[in-house]
């Protein structure tokens, strides 16, 4: 029998490398429009109004400290690899050792897993956090692993404003499908999530003087009222009785929330930015959204957008924006300013020279997801012990994607960053098709 350290280290190093394959293929870590904000917030110790500073500090401690973006990709891939190895150990036992690298290699290029891990963005931590919630709820036999997973979930809670909501929803799904509510381990995930929320609020208190998760919540909700058509209907009546920064010219109201909130020529930026219009946004949201008509419109649009979100497969939409290569764009400007030595490599990457061929990988992701669903249905019918885990993994991925779409707008990223979770669980179940592993699952999921 292999020693535990050997059993862990070899697949860990291999999987960390495999998860970076999309970045290697791209010849530079992948970027998104938010990458620039995260880099600048970490470099300048400034809390952005629309993002937590935590992932920016992560980039500061990795990419900026090392002088190369590859360090950030390696660290987040390593964290994800460790969690996946633990998942196979818990669900597949010794049988998982033979299959974990094969499964992860397929998912690295054939799902959102590797693409998210290879991106300078906290997206990979969404799915990783979901898996950690599962592992903390299962019967454990290692205090070191429990401590690592708990601290990892605390960190993951802080890196994106959607994570507390998503992780709590996933935990509640776990209570219904996996664990009786009275088992003490069932309360480890919410304890970690609450700790993470308190930590993020404390960091904001230290940097901004406000104990809050975000100063931009009202602006996000304002953008949502625009997307669902509620703002256009209610704003004229509101402006007739009070004044706000949107009342100047109602005919020039933007058509989507990105133009409203982030466009330099949009109303928010023209009025001085997020901090300058925060009180106006709070007043508009209170009167427009939090009314019987507003709540009904919000719920109806949320259901519509949530269902639409589940049809948005692949990753190409987040990877092919030609704006990334424009010197004035946020990602290019931040890379040039804070990672100047890597800037030529950034401009020469496949992503910025139209050589990424993302539609091929979209088709590959759809094929892998379809095969995983077929295999999952077969396991569900033929192997009763796997049913609760399979159901939970699918429900969790759907919850994570739908909740983001309901509060923002449908985006391919929201599904891509979590669709690998049910594929991973299916891989664990297939690796567990032996008597000894069945006993492992039966012990973990009573």
> Tens digits of per-residue pLDDT, 158-203?
999 999 999 999 999 999 998 766 677 889 999 999 999 999 999 9
pLDDT of residue 99: 82
Tally the domains of the chain.
2
Whether 161 and 261 map to the same domain: the answer is: no
pLDDT of residue 1: 47
Whether 133 shows a pLDDT value over 90: the answer reads: yes
Judged on CB neighbours under 10 Å (0-12, 13-18, 19+), 365 is buried
Please write down the long-range contacts of 132-136, taking CB distance under 8 Å and 24 or more positions apart: 132/83, 132/156, 132/189, 133/167, 133/170, 133/171, 133/174, 133/189, 133/396, 134/87, 134/174, 134/178, 134/389, 134/392, 134/393, 135/83, 135/86, 135/87, 135/90, 136/185, 136/188, 136/189, 136/192
Q: Bin 273: left if φ > 0, else alpha if -120 < ψ < 50, else beta.
A: left
| Domain limit, last residue, from 275, 309, 343 | 309
pLDDT of residue 117: 96
Whether 387 and 282 map to the same domain: the answer is: no
Share of the chain above pLDDT 70, in %: 93
Whether 56 and 205 map to the same domain: the answer is: yes
Task: Yes or no: say if 368 and 423 are a contact pair by the CB < 8 Å rule.
Answer: yes
Whether 371 and 287 map to the same domain: the answer is: no
Whether 289 and 370 map to the same domain: the answer is: no
pLDDT of residue 439: 54
Of 203, 220, 182, residue with least CA distance to 58: 203
Average pLDDT over residues 363-370: 94
Q: Of 233-242, 253-262, 343-352, where does the model show the most confidence? A: 343-352
Q: Whole-angstrom Cα distance, residue 260 to residue 241?
A: 22
Whether 151 and 8 map to the same domain: the answer is: yes
Per 3-state DSSP, the chain is made up of helix, strand and coil in percentages (nearest 5) of: 75, 0, 25
Q: Of 67-81, 87-101, 301-315, 427-441, where does the model show the most confidence? A: 67-81
| Domain limit, last residue, from 252, 287, 309 | 309
Whether 293 and 190 map to the same domain: the answer is: no
Task: Yes or no: say if 206 and 195 are a contact pair by the CB < 8 Å rule.
Answer: no
Three-state secondary structure call for residue 154: helix
pLDDT of residue 318: 78
Task: Yes or no: say if 104 and 15 are a contact pair by the CB < 8 Å rule.
Answer: yes
**Cα separations (Å) of 423 from 107, 156, 397, 411?**
8, 21, 10, 20
Whether 275 and 355 map to the same domain: the answer is: no
Of 35-44, 175-184, 308-317, the least confident? 175-184
Average pLDDT over residues 220-225: 92
The phi and psi torsions of 30 (rounded to 5 degrees) equal -75, 150
Of 127-131, 316-320, 344-348, 353-357, the least confident? 316-320
Whether 357 and 293 map to the same domain: the answer is: no
Tokens 């998982």 -> residue: 96
Q: Of 151-155, 275-279, 294-298, 380-384, where does the model show the most confidence? A: 151-155
Q: Which domain holds residue 114?
A: 4-212+313-444
Please write down the long-range contacts of 137-142, taking CB distance under 8 Å and 24 or more positions apart: 137/171, 137/174, 137/178, 137/179, 137/183, 137/185, 137/186, 137/188, 137/189, 138/90, 138/178, 138/185, 138/444, 138/445, 139/185, 139/443, 139/444, 140/90, 140/185
pLDDT band at 98 (very low <50, low <70, confident <90, very high): confident
Contacting residues for 406 by C-beta, under 8 A, at least 6 apart: 301, 302, 303, 305, 306
pLDDT band at 407 (very low <50, low <70, confident <90, very high): confident
Specify the length of the chain in residues: 446
Whether 187 and 91 map to the same domain: the answer is: yes
Task: Yes or no: say if 372 and 428 are a contact pair by the CB < 8 Å rule.
Answer: no
Count of C-beta atoms within a 10 Å radius of residue 229: 11
pLDDT of residue 92: 83
Average pLDDT over residues 105-121: 93
Q: Which residue has the higher pLDDT, 229 or 408?
A: 229
* Whole-number average pLDDT of the chain: 90
Whether 38 and 76 map to the same domain: the answer is: yes
Whether 305 and 171 map to the same domain: the answer is: no
């Amino acid at each position: 029998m292999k020693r535990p350290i050997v059993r862990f280290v070899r697949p860990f190093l291999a999987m960390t490398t495999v998860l970076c394959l999309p970045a290697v293929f791209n010849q530079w870590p992948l970027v998104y429009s938010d990458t620039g904000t995260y880099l600048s917030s970490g470099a300048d110790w400034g809390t952005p109004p629309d993002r937590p500073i935590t992932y920016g500090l992560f980039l500061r401690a990795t990419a900026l400290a090392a002088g190369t973006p590859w360090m950030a990709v390696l660290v987040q891939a390593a964290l994800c690899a460790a969690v996946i190895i633990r998942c196979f150990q818990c669900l597949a036992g010794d049988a998982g050792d033979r299959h974990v690298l094969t499964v992860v290699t397929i998912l690295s290029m054939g799902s959102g897993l590797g693409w998210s891990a290879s991106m300078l963005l906290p997206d990979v931590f969404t799915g990783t956090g979901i898996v950690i919630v599962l592992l903390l709820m299962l019967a454990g036999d290692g205090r070191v692993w429990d401590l690592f997973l708990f601290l990892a979930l605390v960190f993951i809670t802080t890196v994106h404003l959607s994570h507390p909501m998503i992780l709590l929803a996933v935990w509640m799904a776990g209570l219904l499908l996996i664990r009786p509510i009275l088992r003490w381990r069932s309360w480890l995930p919410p304890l970690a999530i609450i700790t993470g929320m308190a930590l993020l609020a404390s960091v904001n208190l230290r940097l901004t003087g406000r104990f809050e998760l975000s100063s931009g919540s009202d602006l996000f909700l304002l953008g949502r009222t625009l997307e669902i058509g509620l703002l256009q209907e209610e704003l004229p009546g509101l402006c007739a009785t009070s004044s706000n920064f949107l009342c100047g010219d109602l005919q020039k109201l933007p058509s989507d929330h990105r133009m409203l909130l982030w466009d330099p020529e949009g109303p928010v930026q023209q009025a001085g930015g997020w901090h300058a219009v925060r009180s106006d946004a709070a007043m508009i949201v209170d009167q427009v959204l939090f009314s019987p008509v507003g709540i009904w419109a919000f719920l109806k649009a949320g259901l519509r957008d949530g269902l639409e979100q589940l049809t948005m497969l692949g990753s190409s939409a987040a990877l092919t924006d030609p704006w990334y290569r424009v010197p004035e764009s946020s990602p290019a400007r931040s890379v040039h300013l804070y990672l100047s030595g890597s800037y030529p490599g950034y401009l020469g990457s496949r992503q910025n020279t139209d050589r990424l061929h993302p539609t091929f990988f979209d088709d590959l992701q759809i094929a892998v997801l379809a095969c995983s669903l077929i295999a999952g249905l077969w396991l569900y019918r033929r192997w009763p012990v796997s049913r609760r885990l399979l159901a939970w993994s699918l429900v969790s991925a759907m919850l994570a994607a739908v909740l983001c779409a309901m509060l923002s707008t449908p985006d391919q990223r929201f599904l891509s960053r979590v669709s690998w979770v049910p594929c991973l669980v299916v891989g664990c179940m297939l690796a567990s098709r032996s008597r000894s592993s069945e006993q492992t699952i039966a012990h973990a999921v009573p």
